Amino acid sequence: MGADGFIGRHIAIALRAAGYGPVCVARRVSALAAQGFEVLRADLTDPATNEAGFWAPHAADAVAVVNAAGLLDATEAAFEAVHVAAPRALYAALNKDAQIVLISAVGIEADTPFGRWRREGEAVARAAPCPVTILRPGLVMGETSYGGTSLLRALAAMPLVTPVVAGGQAVNPMHAGDLAALVVRSLEGPPDGGPHDAGGSETVTQAELVQRLRAWMGQRPVPVLDVPVRAARALGRVGSALKLGPISRNAAAQLEAGIESRPGPETVTRGVSDFLAARPAGTQDLWQARLYLLKPAVRLGLAVLWLVSGLLGLLLPAETVLGAADTALPDGMALALGRLGGLVDLAIAGALLAAWRLRLMAWVQMAVVAGYTVALTLLDPSLWLDPFGALLKNLPVLLLLLVHRVLEEER
């Protein structure tokens, strides 16, 4: 479960390399199928997956289940479905000789929804009729990145200062490949319950970590700006409202609670210096780091564009709209089209602000801009000669929308 996630993909690859035939369970499985994995599409928030009968045809002969599914920010219903209801149904469908490995997290003692539902998920695993091993990694990094690790790279790549929240807080990152190796080892040895913290052998501060990431990307040192926790909480509230990924209320609370793990001898892995030194950063790493914070900025900038355009289309006086639309159309039709365009623009702005199906909305925006361009060209071709670029500006807007679409492909 959770095979399409950052950690899940590493585990799937490690299991295949170790000779297992993993069935990768995820909400989106096209990429995993293209990589040659056997897949099972399952949206864990779908009530159907909360029944053992959904899993029975696939789980009856399974020798093990590795559960790497988890949410950081979600509704209570989604938290319960992903961490409790769907796993409980899957565990009930297993034969009694199968093993369970649950990827949990450190810091779940915190009084946050994430911590509470992670604790519930561990309790469900311990109550399963099969032997279980629970691993609690801290900060997990890798050659690729996602969510919080992408944000760390983005902060490290900023040009003038390196912002960091709780810069003095200790952290001992581990590599995702090393965590995957621990999962394989857990399956090959006798299950030993847990929970077991897992983490790297080297402890650094948050400030030291972003400085090392900056040096790894080949960037000259800049001053570190330690962001107060109070400011991080405020940013988290804004991030949750606008759905800015790892910038969220829960993320700020978990960071405040601490993400340092305390691994034992069997679950300690390479330190951050070792795995950063094992691979040089490439151009793609620097591009991704620099574009990561531009991604929400582009989305919000486009939302403002559509919002203002929609309000103008709806609220401008009729004579102003008709004066701007100097066409052969009857005045009533021209005004109706202007008002309708305003409603369409406002709907797009709302979808962008709510982060609703952003990949689809990128295509919708391109289609609307292209449609406006073609329609206005047919109605008044002279707009292409407007000295202020009335239609010419649509060409770079279309390119920006294409970039927006590319940036929304996170996995």
Compute CA distances 166 → 154, 157, 256, whole Å.
16, 18, 7
DSSP secondary structure letters along 3-42: TTSHHHHHHHHHHHHTT---EEEES--HHHHHTT-EEEE-
Confidence of residue 322 (pLDDT cuts 50, 70, 90): low
Amino acid at 66: V
Quote the pLDDT of residue 182. Answer: 96
Would you state the structure tokens that stand for residue 105, as one six-digit string?
């997290």
Note the pLDDT tens digit of each residue in 148-190: 999 999 999 999 999 998 888 999 999 999 999 999 999 988 7
Of all residues in the chain, what percent carry a pLDDT higher than 90? Answer: 73
Instruction: State mean pLDDT over 324-330.
Output: 60
Instruction: Look at strands 99-103 and 132-137 and give their pairing.
Output: parallel
In whole numbers, what is the pLDDT of the chain averaged over residues?
92
Do 52 and 93 contact (CB within 8 A), yes or no?
A: yes
Distance separating alpha carbons of residues 253 and 256, to the nearest angstrom: 5
Distance separating alpha carbons of residues 104 and 94, to the nearest angstrom: 20
Note the pLDDT tens digit of each residue in 38-47: 999 999 999 9
φ/ψ of residue 204, rounded to 5: -135, 170
Compute CA distances 257 → 110, 111, 116, 338, 361, whole Å.
6, 9, 13, 52, 36
Quote the pLDDT of residue 167. Answer: 85
Q: What residues pair up with 49 in beta bridges, in sequence order?
A: none
Confidence of residue 111 (pLDDT cuts 50, 70, 90): confident
Note the pLDDT tens digit of each residue in 57-79: 999 889 999 999 999 888 999 99
What residue ranges define each of the domains in the chain, with the CATH number in brackets?
Answer: 6-292 (3.40.50.720), 296-407 (no CATH)
Does position 323 have pLDDT exceeding 80, yes or no? no
Note the pLDDT tens digit of each residue in 284-315: 999 999 999 999 999 999 999 999 999 998 88
